[in-house]
Amino acid sequence: MKSVDTEVTTSSNHTFEMLDNIRIVMVNTTHPGNIGAAARAMKTMGLSDLVLVEPKKAIDDESIARSSGATDVLEAARIVPTLDDAIEDCGLVIGTSARSRSIPWPLLNPRQCAEQSVLTSKRQKVAIIFGREDRGLTNDELAKCNFHVHIPTNPEYSSLNIGAAIQVISYEMRMAIELSSKGDDQLWGVEWDRDLASSKELDGLIEHLEQVMIKSEFLDPENPRYIMTRMRRLFNRAMPDKVEVNVFRGILSAISKKFN
């Protein structure tokens, strides 16, 4: 016969199963110790999907020591060559940033980030991207995101250790589930009739749009300025579903034919 303890654990794990769909992505990490710290931060909050984009050094003894027993998360971590590989199957992508950037993006605080992530994770994969210890994420990497998230800090000293940043974000994910058991599910992509387009599908749409913009001589490829970044921001902000993206691509194909 199962003990009461086991039953309690089983039912609470069920409540938190959305966390399986929330992925932590670390880009070009320099210190293997920080990968271990990230694994520990994740495991304490019930997250387990860690993807490393081209870490500068492989997982080593320092990572294992800093993971403090979260070796299962380290062992299951996937290493991929590009950020696109890490996020291509995700319906929601959120980039972390310690400072503001030249083209502002829809910005969330950690609580709003968790609320949106947890709701989307009921149906689709979510990725939260963390940057390099020395330089954070590039503008191109941040442009691949639907939202940016900033952990409020002392403006004169705003940069957390990456493990600490992952801890804050993961904690908020867990808290959002605790609170959402009675909440309403009104946000995008949850009570929706179609799944949100994946990051790869949005990339396909934006490339298609760029081709048509060039073909029609609206966009000068020699002098693109920030037009494509602005278009990327528009589509990331709109969070189109799969059907909307297909319709848009159909329109682009129809326009394209007129130029042949």
Spatial distance between the Cα atoms of 18 and 16, rounded to a whole number of angstroms:
5
The identity of residue 248, as a single letter, is F
119 binds ligand SAH (CB under 6 A): no
Least distance in Å: CB of 77 to ligand SAH? 17
The DSSP element (H or E) to which 254 belongs, if any, is helix 242-258
CB of 134 to ligand SAH, least distance (A): 6
Among 21, 28, 97, 121, binds ligand SAH (CB under 6 A): 97
SS3 letters for 51-107?
EEECCCCCCCHHHHHHHCCCHHHHHHCEEECCHHHHHCCEEEEEEECCCCCCCCCCE
Q: Which is nearer to ligand SAH, 9 or 139 (CB)?
A: 139
Q: Which of 10, 25, 166, 13 is nearest to 82 (CA)?
A: 25
Could you tell me if 129 and 94 are in contact, meaning their C-beta atoms sit under 8 angstroms apart?
yes
Verify binding: residue 116, ligand SAH, rule CB under 6 A: no
- Convert residues 155-194 into a mask of x (bound to ligand SAH by CB under 6 A) and - (unbound): ---xxx-x--x-----------------------------
Site for ligand SAH in 132-151 (CB under 6 A): 133, 135-137, 150-151
3-state secondary structure of 36: helix
Judged by CB under 6 A, does residue 130 bind ligand SAH? yes
Give whichever of 164 and 227 is closer to ligand SAH, judged by the CB atom.
Answer: 164
Question: Site residues (CB under 6 A) for ligand SAH?
Answer: 96-99, 130-131, 133, 135-137, 150-151, 153, 158-160, 162, 165
